[in-house]
Structure 1
Amino acid sequence: MTYAGLTWDHPRGHDALAASAGGLVHWDVQPLEGFESHPVDELCARYDLVVLDHPHLGEAVRAGCLRPLDDLFPQEELARWGAGAIGPTMRSYALDGRQWALPLDAATQVAATRTDLGGEAPTTWDEVHRLARRAPVALSLAGPHAFLTFASIALAMGEEPATDPDRLISRETGLAVLDLMAALDALAPPETRTLNPIGLLELMAGTDRLAHCPLVYGYVTYADRLTFTDAPTVTPGGRPGSTLGGTGLALSTRCAPSTELLDHVRWLMSPEAQRDFLPRHNGQPSARAAWTDPDTVAADFYRRTAATCEQAWVRPRHAGYIGFQTAASAAVRAALAGGSDHRETLDRMGTLYRTSRTPEERRA
């Protein structure tokens, strides 16, 4: 039997899965934008295995379209994978007491630099601002990334967003974040504002029009051309504010997994696959051992960004989150373009967040 799988259209998302599948899984791909926003229940209706992002869990669980992995793998096996995963990657796919996906790939927002254009990578947000006055620097703002950048800077400033279902962020922190983003965006090359993370990295790697991006999802496939380092802090030694990305491997309810398929999933999570096979096939493993092994392919990429991945923020995963993320990002972009006052923008984002939660979630 051949299972149908869906991943995202980039070597990091596709190559290792395709190379290891044999005749067991046929992998289709979708663009990065579809991975970030396409309703997961529609994908699960057509595919047995789905590579997804953790913020989609709420809508997937509500739709009842995923198989809980607790029913397919022993608890001790899940616990072992969780203990070996870097940062919050494993727990980001746990919700309502069940495990819904496995962290196939680990990524978070880190800094990317062309050191020949900008010099040594800045480590604080003040240094980022100083660099932006003499070299081309850009924020990641396209699609959902405007809000993700907002959230990550808030973390660096000492406040985790969305800890209260009735409040997104304090006014003081929110305004400070928007002010900093506006100051940096005013200096950015205009062409960067519509580029997704892959587009930003391509521009930086292939031209001299971008020297630094302080928060962009790390892609090991660019490690031979760009220098990746931990996300900036506000003060030296502070928390590198960053929002967790990466991907999880889930099984849809249409999937009738064979022993062979479950063993293949086990192999993808094994030390052999995580430390050797995935990195050799453009993958970005989730096992901490791969991030700390000096013999891993592109070891410097992992070593220089591991601290950020360990401390990354896990986004809310309620069913209304994806719609909120989309609308909040549009609000941030409008503010940076001068279309709305920062206080009005912050109020709008707060309202969007509250209304993305059900009354039951807000009372919980």
Structure 2
Amino acid sequence: MAAAINGLTWDHPRGFDALDAASKLPEALPLGLTWSRQPLEGFESHPIAELCAKYDLVVLDHPHVGEAVEAGCVWALDDLFSPGELRDWASQSVGASYASYTWQGQQWALPLDAATQVAAARRDLIEGTLPATWADVVRLSEQGGVSLCVAGPHAMLGFCSMMAAWGKPPMVDGSAGRFVDDATALEVLDVMASLYGRTSRKTLGLNPIGTLEYMAREHDVRYCPLIYGYVNYAAPRGERAPITFLDVPVTGPGGRYGSTLGGTGIALSRRSRPSPALLDHLRFLMGRQAQAQFIPSHAGQPSHRDAWTDADVNATSGDFYRNTLATIEEAYVRPRYAGYIAFQTAASEAIRAAFEQGTPHRQLLDELNAEFLRTVDD
């Protein structure tokens, strides 16, 4: 009998339930596949090589790809699947969900799950139309109830999204000698600082899951312009009110839906022995039936475009997918070089500290550009 296979994913129904249920399907039982969980923050605090040394399958975020490749701890999927299969998965995935795991000309993970920053609203708490532009967001914030999600890496991710909305997304390498366009960044930081100052202290320390949980149960946060979408909060449940998910604001008519791609991919560590049965299991997870039926019915958030446009999938999710498809199609893909995660962490801490201390935005920007170039060159 084949040796048991272990996998690591993140500790949320969206990250665990579908994978666990799929491992219990009759055709998967011979694999002996079991899934362990750790908090999302655990992927930031543990080097990816450490995780790959312990697990055969690792669910990861695309910015970890460069680190994983440098460490030599994951299989190149080009060596395991046919070019036709990879082309099909690339064409079927929303936005850059598939391409985000392509690095140095090879594919290192499959987009099991797709997400990006979207807008979230308690529609029952907002009179009239919802904000469509960033100017609308600022005006609504003057009346209260607007929250900026800035905990953990999300201060930096929100900054990246707004830079994209303003038409100048951040650089992905050091060739330009800077991280962002300075003039645009100063405008973005002005708006961010204004919204930060009006965000409830109750939510400043909450990650997207905590923020959405708070929004669904309380009544003092009614709108968040940039937060990673979780379909799990789109329908009412118990004491939780439904949250309406929408495309992010734009700067003006025809403007870009500025957002930073998230989601997760499934990678095979080099400790694994990719048997035909294991590869078939991954094919099942990436197939249309699993993506448009099995995964949505088990609290998951698929990457297949057919699922995002499926009438039944949208009917059971408050049109979560249809309402945010334009945003994920235009989402900015973060850098994936080996030192990027450290930069993302440091930049988020610097942004929060600057907003708290009233640091001049020019000084903060100089710090971000210098730190980016340092980590790119390391």
Give the TM bin, normalised by the shorter chain.
over 0.9
Deviates further, 4-13 or 170-179? 170-179
Matched, 1:97 2:105: yes
Determine helix, strand or coil for the equivalent of 2:143: coil
Q: Give the partner amino acid of 2:284.
A: W
State the match for 1:259 in structure 2.
276
Query: Which of 326, 329, 335 does residue 316 from structure 1 map onto?
Result: 335
**Deviation digits for residues 193-235 of structure 1 (CA, Å, limit 9, x no counterpart):** 1100001000000111211110000000001110000011100
Query: Which of 306, 310, 331 does residue 350 from structure 2 map onto?
Result: 331
In structure 2, distance between residues paired with 1:17 and 1:212: 31
**Deviation digits for residues 155-203 of structure 1 (CA, Å, limit 9, x no counterpart):** 1001010155121111111111110001111111111111000010000
In structure 2, distance between residues paired with 1:121 and 1:135: 14
Q: Gapped runs of 5+ residues in structure 2?
A: 236-241
TM-score by length of 1: 0.97
Determine helix, strand or coil for the equivalent of 2:120: strand
In structure 1, distance between residues paired with 2:193 and 2:35: 41
Partners of 1:150 and 1:177 within 8 A in 2: yes
Q: How big is the alpha-carbon RMSD for the aligned residues of Structure 1 and Structure 2?
A: 1.1
State the match for 2:73 in structure 1.
65
In structure 2, distance between residues paired with 1:295 and 1:118: 27
Query: Which of 2, 13, 16 does residue 14 from structure 1 map onto?
Result: 16
Partners of 2:173 and 2:335 within 8 A in 1: no
What is the deviation of 1:121? 2.5
**Deviation digits for residues 240-288 of structure 1 (CA, Å, limit 9, x no counterpart):** 1000000000000000011111100000000000000000001100001
Matched, 1:286 2:303: yes
Q: Gapped runs of 5+ residues in structure 1?
A: 360-364
Return closer, same or farther for 1:320/1:164 CA change in 2, 3 Å cut-off: closer
TM-score by length of 2: 0.93
Percent identical residues: 55
Determine helix, strand or coil for the equivalent of 2:160: helix
Aligned positions of 1:134-283 closer than 5 A: 134-165=143-174, 166-224=177-235, 225-283=242-300
Runs of 4+ in 1 over 3 A off after TM superposition: none
In structure 2, distance between residues paired with 1:313 and 1:321: 15
In structure 2, distance between residues paired with 1:35 and 1:131: 35
Query: Which of 359, 369, 375 does residue 340 from structure 1 map onto?
Result: 359
Query: Which of 24, 41, 58 does residue 49 from structure 2 map onto?
Result: 41
Return closer, same or farther for 1:211/1:116 CA change in 2, 3 Å cut-off: same
Partners of 1:117 and 1:135 within 8 A in 2: no
Q: Give the partner amino acid of 2:134.
A: W
Aligned length: 359
Q: Give the partner amino acid of 1:2.
A: A
What is the deviation of 1:352? 0.4
Q: Give the partner amino acid of 2:48.
A: V
Q: Give the partner amino acid of 1:20.
A: A
